Chains A and B, each alone.
Chain A
Amino acid sequence: MATVEVRDLHKHFDAGRVRAVDGVDVATSDGEYLVLLGPSGCGKTTLLRTIAGLEEPSSGDVVIDGQVVTGLPPRARRIAMVFQSYALYPHKSVLANIVFPLRAAGVPHGDREQKARRAAGMLGIEHLLGRKPRQLSGGERQRVALARALVRDPSVFLLDEPLSNLDAKLRTSARDELKRFQQDIRATTVYVTHDQSEAMGLGDRIAVMSQGRVRQIGRPVEVYDDPADTFVATFIGSPPMNLVPRGDVLVGFRPEHLLPVENVPGERVTVTLEVQRMEYLSGDRHVYGTVDLGAGPTRVIARLPATVDTPLAAGERHGFAVPVRRLRFFDEDSGLRTDPVPVRT
């Protein structure tokens, strides 16, 4: 297998006015599933296209399997890419679609068909080989695109939001399939998405991007529990992390850690929550209200699991608490993590 690395990569458009990718250093390990996560316009797709060789970087290097491929065309990079639209060749049958990369690579005729059928078999689409793309459903198209990507044993898979064209119901099952596909293939994969649940579910590691830079890279649990800055803290998590100012720091805690005081054992910080509104979402209670840590009332959200049945009503004030080990601290100006400060209320 292989590794992918980008070194101090910059990609500027319009003579430097738009910095789509603004100095990114990322390296995957062999067989890793790396997810590039960020809001639209953060540069994640441009980064992926630069790795693929569809964009030439303004500066910096792309390294695949230890070899600098920066100036090389896509076909010299041993990569496979699945586009958001799947980009199936509309005039070719499914079989011809899957065979195309092999023909381009000059694989002998007999091998081609055999390899294509094996790839189709892995994705369970042998019965579709004679069809045209327009006769396929969204999920089938995805599988054809994956089979076409898989067929010539690429060192690296690049996936650009492959689930975003599917409807919500199909997306869950397609995600499951992608995960199993990845576990079968064990190929190094770079996956671009703006959907945090896809990222958390699929990625070995997640690179959270914003404005052309990687804000944090780490395992899903790390970026969730230990966000490097307030962007990551609020971008990941639904509802996002609460950030309450206190002096010149922001005190952050996840909504599920803000619970009625009697449910928080051990060392804790207590606050008074002024309840404004409540929502019931799949068994959880989302409580919207304000707390004050000494810098005025700040809006926060508490997520109470179904097991917590403390009676609450809008307009009430109620004692809530957060375990001390769940508190995160950010510099108010830079947004970066800082040392813990004592919080007592």
Chain B
Amino acid sequence: MTGPGGAPPAATRPAGPAAERERPAPTRYRRRLTDRDGALAWLFLAPAVVYILALVGVPFLLAVAFSFSDVTGGDPSFDWTGLQNFGRVFADPVFWRALRNTLVFTALSMVFIVLFGKVLANVLIADFRGRWLVRFLVLLPWTTPVALSTITWLWMLDSVFSPIDWVLRQVGLIQANMFYLGRPTLAMASVIAVHVWRLVPLAAVIMMAGLLSIPKDVQEQALVDGAGYWRRMVEITIPLTAPVIAISALFGAIFTFTDMTVVYVLTRGGPTNETQVLASWAFFRGIEGGDVGQGAAIALFLFPLLLAAAIAILRAVRRMEVS
């Protein structure tokens, strides 16, 4: 490689009188911590690892342990009971009611979240005056803490003072109040409506990002090729944003599936457990009812379902990265 007169690169030169002279003095060029990628990687990862272990890993293992024990609020001593808690939970019709509600709420919310999110996303990318203000306002429901916005909805749906009822009465559509949260079907619809209301902005913003990533050329090409609005929507826009739509659907599903706040604040699972979901039922049983073992067993039932959802999300994300 190097000719007879050429010297090998300085770094690989064997130690000798010439090399001695050129090598930098070791005291001046010590490797600092910031030069050591391996150590830095651990340093930066450590807080996240500690956080996840302490706040996710330990409680999860604790929940698993509780579900096989007879721990209660009054008697925290740990006694092994095997599958007894699961047996009792499965024998309870309220559990099955809660499971069914969880799945129904999640499925229906997901459908509406995607539908309205898609429409809203299309509105948000349109070029009009004050677009930024509208985008900001649309995002507000998502940024408000769930508990606070749900309390607002509690007032909105109040059995006596509901402003929605008032408006409907004034317009003449109804004669008497609707008692939204007092009737099983309306109460379920109310819970779904609040979920949709708070998650549509998130879905819309995710889908808006997807829409903006479609090359302008492709849309214009479809225009020149003679495609009308619906053909462009169905054949170009939706297929090209399908991964993003899937992501927003999964986000909507996970947030609805794991949420207990809306049910807890709005209906407390009522009337007579008609709107109970797994998360709220676990809370009522384990924390308010004091039967920590059963509460843990109910809560753990969520785990395999959530795991499947998480795998689905990660796969979808990876597919997006590949294409």
Contacts and interface: CB of A to CB of B under 8 A. Distances in A.
Contact of A54 (B215, B218, B223, B228): B223
A45 B198 CA distance: 44
B47 to A, nearest CB: 40
Contact of B225 (A53, A85, A91, A104): A104
Given A91-B239, A104-B231, A74 B226 contact: yes
B305 to A, nearest CB: 31
B225 A101 contact: yes
A54 B239 contact: no
Contacts of B240: 90-91
A54 B217 CA distance: 11
Please report whether the interface of chain B is mostly helix, strand, loop or mixed according to DSSP. helix
Contacts of A101: 225-226
A41 B157 CA distance: 59
Interface string B188-231: 00000000000000000000000000010110111111111001
Contacts of A79: 224
B246 interface: no
B235 interface: yes
Contacts of B231: 103-104
B104 interface: no
Interface residues of B, number: 17
B115 interface: no
A139 B218 CA distance: 18
B89 interface: no
A75 interface: yes
Interface in A199-236: none
A87 B227 contact: no
A81 interface: yes
Centre residue among B217, B221, B235 by max chain A CB count within 10 A: B221
Nearest to A96: B235
A52 interface: yes
Contact of B217 (A80, A85, A104): A85
A103 B235 CA distance: 11
Given A85-B217, A104-B231, A80 B224 contact: yes
B309 interface: no
Contacts of B235: 89, 100
Contacts of B228: 75, 104
Contacts of A52: 224
9 residue pairs, one from A and one from B, having the closest CB atoms: A75-B226, A87-B217, A87-B221, A104-B226, A101-B225, A104-B227, A81-B224, A83-B217, A74-B224
Given A75-B227, A84-B217, A89-B221, 8 more contacts: A75-B224, A81-B224, A83-B220, A91-B239, A100-B225, A100-B235, A104-B226, A104-B228
